Amino acid sequence: MSFSQLYSEKVLEHVRNPQNMGEIKKPDGVATVGNPVCGDIMRLYIKIEKKDGKEYIKDARFQTLGCGAAISTSSIITTMVKGKPLNEAEKITKTAIMEALGGLPPTKTHCSILAADALKKAIANYRQSHKK
C-alpha cells in the first residue's frame, strides 16, 4: 500500500511528527475514548487557564493507540484547540478536523469522530470537576 495514495500530505506529516504527544501531569480535563469499530484508543488531556473571567485551553496533549488516521486526528486536534477559548474549542466538529487534515479516506472518517468525541468528553470532564 502506498501511504501517500491513502493519506493526504498533512495526515502523513502528523503521523511522522505528532504534535503535543504525551501526558499532562495534572490535567484539568481528561477523556479516554475507544473506537469499538477498529479498536483504536485515544486519550486527550487539557489544561485550562482563566483570563478576564474567560476560560481558555492553555495546553492540550494526546496519547493514542491506533492507525495513521487516529494518530493524525489526535495530533491535529491538539493544535486546533491550544490557545482557544473553551466555548469556541468545543464547537470543533469532525468535519473541521477532517478539513484541517486535507481529508481522510472514507473508511477512516470514524477516526475524526473519535477525536471530536475525545475533546467534548475532556471538556465535559473539566466542567464536571470544576462545578462548584
Partner 1 sequence: MQPYFSLHYGNPSEPHQWGQQARAAIDEAREKVAQFLGAKPQEIIFTSGATEAINLAHKGLIENIKYPHIITSSIEHKAVLETCKHLEKLGMAEVTYLPVDKDGLVKVEDVEKSIKPETVLVSLMYVNNEVGTIQPIAEIGKLIQKINVSRLTSHLLRIFFHTDATQAIQYLDCQVAKLGVDLLSLSGHKFYAPKGVGVLYFKKGTPIVRQQDGGGQEYRLRAGTENVPYIVALGKAIEQISNFQFPISNKIKKLRDRLIDGVLKIPKVKLVGDSKKNSPHIASFLVEGVEGEAMMLLLSDRGVAASSGSACTSGLLEPSHVLLAMGYQPQQAHGSLRFSLGKENTQEEIDEVVQVLPGIIRQLRRMAPKL
Which residues, 55 to 84, sit near partner 1 by CB under 8 A?
63-71
Which one of 38, 67, 96, 113 is the catalytic residue?
38
Angstrom distance (rounded) from CA 82 to CA 60: 6
Taking the mean position of all CA atoms in its chain, how far away is CA 114?
A: 8
Q: Least distance (Å) from partner 1 to the CB of residue 53?
A: 33
Three cell numbers written together for 1: 500500500
Which residues, 7 to 46, sit near partner 1 by CB under 8 A?
12, 15-16, 18, 21, 32, 37-43
Angstrom distance (rounded) from CA 73 to CA 95: 11
Q: How many CB atoms lie within 10 A of CB 115?
A: 29
Q: Binding of partner 1 at residue 1 (CB under 8 A)?
A: yes
State the residues that interact with partner 1 by CB under 8 A. 1-3, 12, 15-16, 18, 21, 32, 37-43, 63-71, 107, 110
Give the residue numbers annotated as catalytic, written as ranges: 38, 111
